[in-house]
Structures are given as C-alpha cells and as structure tokens.
Amino acid sequence: MNIKHKIIPIIAIILASFNLRPVITSVSPLLGTIRQTLHMSAATASLLTSLAVLCMGLFAPFAIKLANRWSIERTIAYALILIGLATATRYFANTAWVMLVTALLSGIGIAIVGPLLSGYIKEKFANPSRVVGIYSLALVVGAALGSGLSIPLSNFFHSWQASSASWAILALIALFFWWKPIEQKAVTASVTNSPSKSNSVKQMLMNQKAWLLTGFFGLMAFMFYTIMAWLPPIAENLGYSKHDAGMMLTLLTIAQMPATFLVPILNNRFQHRAVWLVGSSSLELIGLLMLLFSYNPWLSSILIGLGAGGLFSLGLTLPIDEAKDIHEASFLAAMTQSVGFVFAALGPFFVGLVRDFTGNFTTAIIGMIIIVLVMILIQLKIGNQKQPQMHHIHMKKTTF
C-alpha cells in the first residue's frame, strides 16, 4: 500500500470516529435546557443517552450481516448518513419524541459503524495496533468536542436545537471519504458463523469466567455512560454555571486519554491485574465520594476520568488475556460488549428515575458508589485468576 493509500484510509477512519460520540456527549451539557424547553422529566431525558447506548449493544451483531451484503465501506457510508440525518433532525426538535427518535436512530448508526471500523482496520493495515490507537484517540477527541463545544455553539446560534444539529456536518465530511472508497470488499466470514465453533460458544455461555468479565464490562460501561449523561446536571445542582458544568465533562473526557494508553502498558509490565483494576475503580470511587460531599467537582472530574480510562482499556484487553484461542477471544469480546452495552443503557435512566423520585442527586450518587463497590468485588475475583500467556493471539480491538 503506497503512502496515498495509507493516508486516505486513516483520514477516513478518523472522520468516521468523530461521528460516534458527539451525538451523545453534546446532549449532556444542554440537558437542563432541553428538559425545560421540552418539558421532559429527568427519567425521560436520560433516555437521550440510554437509547443510543442500548442500540450499541442490540444492533452491533447486525453490522457483519449488512457488510456481507453491501461491503464494509458502503455499510459505513449508509450508517454515517443515518447518524447525520438523525443529528440534523434535532434542529426541528420541538417535542420530546423528536429527540428520542433521533437518539434511537443515531444509536443504530453508531452500533453499525463501530464494529466495522475495527474490521476495516484489520483488513487494510498490516500493523493494525497503531491505527487502532488513532481510532481510539479520535473517539475520545470527538466525545470531548461534543461536550466542550455544546454550550458555546448554543450561545453562538442562540438555539440549543441548532447546537445539537450542527454535529451533522461531521457525517457530511466523513461521507466524502466513504461513499466512493478505493476498494470495496465484502466481509467473507464471521467467527461466530462457523459451525465448528458452536460447541465453544455453548461452553463460553456456561462459563463463570465469561460472565465475570461480562459483569465487569457491563458495570464499567454503566458507570461511564451514567456519569457522561449526568455530571453536568449534578454540577449545576451544586451551583456551577452551564458553561463550567460542560467544561467539567470535557475535563473528564480529556483525563481518560493518558490512562487509556498507560494502564495497559503498566499492567503488561507488572502483571498484577487486580492492582490496576481496583486502582482504577478506586479513583472513580474517590471522585464519586467528592461529588457526594460537594467537594471540588473539578478534581472529581479528573479522578473519575482517569479511572474510567484505565477501566475501559482493561475491559478491552481482559477477554484476550483470558481466552484460549482467537475464536474464543472473538466470542468473549462480543459477549462482554453486547451484553455490557445493553446493561449500561440502564445507568442514565436509573439516575434520572431516582432524581425524579427524590428531587436531588444524593441517592443516585450513593447508588453509583454501590455499583463501583460491586465492580471492585468482581475485579478481585477476575484479578486472582491465572493469566494465560496469549502473546501469539492478535485480535482487533473495539472501543466505547
């Protein structure tokens, strides 16, 4: 592959990745305004995040089937169109139902693009690990832009609807690189479709280790999307402005970056998984306790971000460490993430429901603290298991 044929796919991957988080993170800083304008309860407003995350779990298995029919590139292009149209429709969001439908449709698009980008990277690049790093960084940057620019864009346009809809431009730009790709190749095989692997799949579904990993990933994602949805409203409830509350979420997102890259390296070097798992969870726990006692939410955002970044990267690597072979690793990763994202979708709704019932966030934060404590118990069980030497296995990464 010459230089041109390397650079263009990388640019296409970056631009597609930019579309996978702003439609979710751009809502959170504006959540208070959206609720007031559309007369939404906290529980209903939480569905703007929960529906998208739920779709990420439910519709991801259909991505390969669609790629078999249309090719990876064309399927990604169609999904980008869906994300773009759903996002642009928010300009006309004068009722709660319009916002909820856009969350649903954009979530379906994200569910399709995410897995196929990993397959595209594996297909196009001899050394996919470096490109996966770029892909992951683009996801984090997209999420940070969505949370950090929502309030400024709302002030610029004098409309939260225009601010929410403006992110559709990212899909339009990305579409130029995906609609007429250099090559179009259909996915020819899927690990889970192989009859010879059916027994292995049944064994994994009955395996306690597999469900421990799935439980950990689900709780980790539950916490991540809950705090992404409700940190700004919690900060506003503490007396901070909408702008400062949005910047806290941006700070949390940026804090994930170093932890996402460093924790797997440290875990690989020192081989003490329980230390890194519990350590990352402890940072989240300290951050939540600070929020509970209304102490320095700026520092709390940094601690939660560092913890979430470490847990995210470990959640991606654990299925590979625990698997016996490449097929088991593929299924185990799919199992943890599909089930995990469906469970994670309950998080924002849980906080919204508790907020409506109690009239404050105190009980909801206590609930999140309990979730982290349960996650630590699971991590101790996972961390004490023997780590197989699986250095010969190379598997594509997927990401939040």
Question: Tens of pLDDT along 175-224?
Answer: 999 987 644 454 444 444 544 455 555 666 677 778 888 899 899 989 98
- Residue pair 45/352 in contact (Cβ under 8 Å)? The answer is yes
- Higher per-residue pLDDT: 311 or 136: 311
The pLDDT value given to residue 384 = 56
Check pLDDT > 50 for residue 254.
yes
Return the pLDDT at 223: 93
How high is the pLDDT of residue 59? 86
The pLDDT assigned to 132 comes to 64
Predicted TM-score (pTM) above 0.85: no
Highest mean pLDDT among 87-101, 304-318, 322-336: 87-101
Instruction: Report whether pLDDT(268) > 50.
Output: yes
Summary mean pLDDT of the chain: 82
